Amino acid sequence: MADIREQIKRKYGVDIETLNLFFLYKISGPDVTDQELEQAFAKKRKSWSQFLNSPREDKAAQARQHLEAADRYEAVLRDPSLRKALYAYYQKSGDGTGDASLDFAREFFGIVGKTRRIRRQEIDFFFEYFPEQRKSRQSILEMLKTEFKVSKLDARGADGGEDERDEKKKKSALVADQFDRSTLLGIRKCQAYLTKAAAIGTTAVQFPGVSESLYRFLDLENCRDIESLRTLVKAGREKASGLRLDGGQEYTPVLDLYNKLDELLDQNDVFYNFKEFKLLVKFPNLTPYMYEIVEARERTIADLARVAQREYGFRDQYDFLFSYFLTMYSKFGIYDNGIRKMMKDAERKQGRQKFLDKVDRILGREKTEPLPPCFTPLFFLAYLPVYLTFGVFELVKLIVWNLRYIAIPAAVPAALWLARATFGFVGYELPSWSRFSLRELTARLCAGMGMPAALEMAVTLFFIAAVIALPVILGVCCLWDSATKLRKEFDWKGIERTFWMILNQFKRQFKNRLERRRIFTLTRMLLAVLINAVLFTGVFLYARDLSGNLSWKLRQILWEMKQDPERKTAAKETSATFAETRAETETTEAAPPLFEITASAANIRSGPGTGYEVVAQAPQGRQLTGTGNWQLMDSVWYELYLDDSRTATGWASEKVLKQIQ
């Protein structure tokens, strides 16, 4: 490994120990074609040329340095044998820290993977937060594929990129509670700027403490509020800017540091969570774990405490819990259902009142002097819309926060309903839940398909899995993933804190008005109560009528659904009866009627009626075949065949005939 490094350094003047050429040009491997290689070279030269005019001096200087060495970089990568040896060097040693990088990534994703499914987003954030791990990117990705079974990864998708991103968020009225991704990466950039500044020895003269951690450099221990830090940052930025204008290029990292800090202090999540922001700066290596973890369990706390003890010297698990986790977990939207018992133990150890005070501070519940008891109901009724709005929000929050735990139990009724709906759709009659059984389904399939028992059972199980199990499983997984995203990416506690802030502001205004103009204030509040009563009465009456109409329509739909099977059964029975009757009629029509003479002597006439002439006489007991024609006169007259060849016919009255067939 040392031979290839020394060979490239001596021949081309490129130190591959500090520069990963594959990562620099975004080349996935040593087997790249010449055309792809030239395209990568041209693309990177164009990018560096654009950065030459960047307002940031550090980016412009870095681009200028790369352009000057571009010919040497390209010469190394154009040599196929040297390219393969270089790739093997990066894969095996990874700057001499390949094994350490793999161990670190294995520990990180091992802890995170116990609480969530590892996806592309988690891997991207890992490489963005720990840019030094990009040198071992290929090895880490291979480890994730083999050990953690993570699929759909490639070198280009998980390298974090070098493009500048707009990390400044728009100001809003929301009292933010959760930290944004851009804030976490911004703090990491500040640490990188401080590291660059510390590498330049002359900066320590003007900025003492530059070689310390960012927490100590900013003296956050003595910054009680954000305004004191803002004042410190403003003074430092003015000083660094003056030195930079005087030709001090070495102060550029310090100026970038203060500019980034000034940008961070304008963000809502930092402004409203300054004490927690100080913990982010103080313990930066714990931040990516907190950002990635979804649900904390006792083993998760134990793993995090082990990392915290190793990195920052926490005494034990409870020290980590008190000093960091209980304050920070809500800022990352972490589920706490699995550590309720541990939190209760912590509450007993630390003292109930102290613990509740900390929770109140986390939730933003200010300790204000309560209203007089006689005015509390009036205040509640006057601001009833605010309370109801927040009540609806709390209900939605309760559902979303517990959606992960509702998803799996909800699969059972969903599967039963889907089974009933599916079998009803394909024609299987299921009049009651008790009839839905595998035995009955098997019998129905056997009767309808006529398959052997073994094949029939296989088809039955496949049908159940395809039509019922798979949709239910996919639905539960989608619901679980959606609930996780809503919990982690939506600032529920921020909205809750905003409500408390607005409510406390209303209370203070109400108390101040009572002290100055009691009668006028009470009159306004009573008027507000009256308006609320009228509005809610109207809404209630409308909702009652609407619910009545909806319930009636629902009952009608259910009744129709209930009647449908009965109608189908009746229709089937009617159809069967009609078919039988029709078959009998067709059979009867197919066989001509047979008549017997009942009179002693019957006159057979040429037409229906006594006005026609007699063409023949038939004695009693003679059987004659009818043609099927008849006519109603004074009585019913039937047309009869007079001979066996059925050529001659005549008519006789029903008075002298009896139908025997």
Q: How far is residue 52's CA from residue 67's CA, in Å, rounded to a whole number?
A: 10
Quick check: helix, strand or coil at residue 336? strand
The pair of three-digit structure tokens given for residue 586, joined into one six-digit string: 């067709």
Angle between helices 352-363 and 492-516 (to 10 degrees): 90
Q: How far is residue 305's CA from residue 299's CA, in Å, rounded to a whole number?
A: 10
Instruction: Specify the pLDDT at position 282.
Output: 92
pTM over 0.85: no
Q: Amino acid identity, residue 329?
A: Y
Instruction: Specify the pLDDT at position 265.
Output: 93
Q: How far is residue 478's CA from residue 417's CA, in Å, rounded to a whole number?
A: 19
Do 263 and 187 contact (CB within 8 A), yes or no?
Answer: no
The secondary structure of 394-431 as a DSSP string is HHHHHHHHTHHHHHTTTHHHHHHHHHHHHHHHHT----
| Residue partners of 45: CB distance under 8 A and separation at least 6 | 67, 70
Instruction: Specify the pLDDT at position 477.
Output: 80
Listed by start position, the domains of the chain span 2-92, 98-147, 179-282, 285-363, 404-510, 517-589, 594-659
Instruction: Specify the pLDDT at position 94.
Output: 45
241: burial class by Cβ within 10 Å (0-12, 13-18, 19+)?
Answer: middle
The pair of three-digit structure tokens given for residue 530, joined into one six-digit string: 């009256």
Instruction: Specify the pLDDT at position 104.
Output: 87
Quick check: helix, strand or coil at residue 623? strand
| pLDDT tens, position by position, 51-78 | 887 776 767 778 888 888 889 888 888 8
Question: What are the backbone angles phi and psi of residue 91, rounded to the nearest 5°?
Answer: -70, -40
Q: Angle at CA 480, nearest 5°, toward 477 and 485?
A: 125
Instruction: Specify the pLDDT at position 171.
Output: 53
Q: Which residue has the tokens 């703090």?
A: 187
The pair of three-digit structure tokens given for residue 33, joined into one six-digit string: 């074609």
Instruction: Specify the pLDDT at position 423.
Output: 57
Quick check: helix, strand or coil at residue 513? helix
Instruction: Specify the pLDDT at position 229.
Output: 94
Instruction: Specify the pLDDT at position 157.
Output: 45
Q: How far is residue 196's CA from residue 191's CA, in Å, rounded to a whole number?
A: 9
Torsion on CA atoms 40, 41, 46, 51, rounded to nearest 10: 100
Instruction: Specify the pLDDT at position 579.
Output: 58
Q: Where does 594-659 sit in CATH, by number?
A: 2.30.30.40
Do 483 and 403 contact (CB within 8 A), yes or no?
Answer: yes
Q: Which residue has the tokens 């550090």?
A: 58
The pair of three-digit structure tokens given for residue 484, joined into one six-digit string: 């996780």
Tell me the β-bridge partners of 640.
Answer: 626, 650
Residues of the chain with pLDDT under 70: 1-3, 56, 58, 91-100, 152-174, 347, 349-372, 416-461, 463-465, 467, 558, 560-591
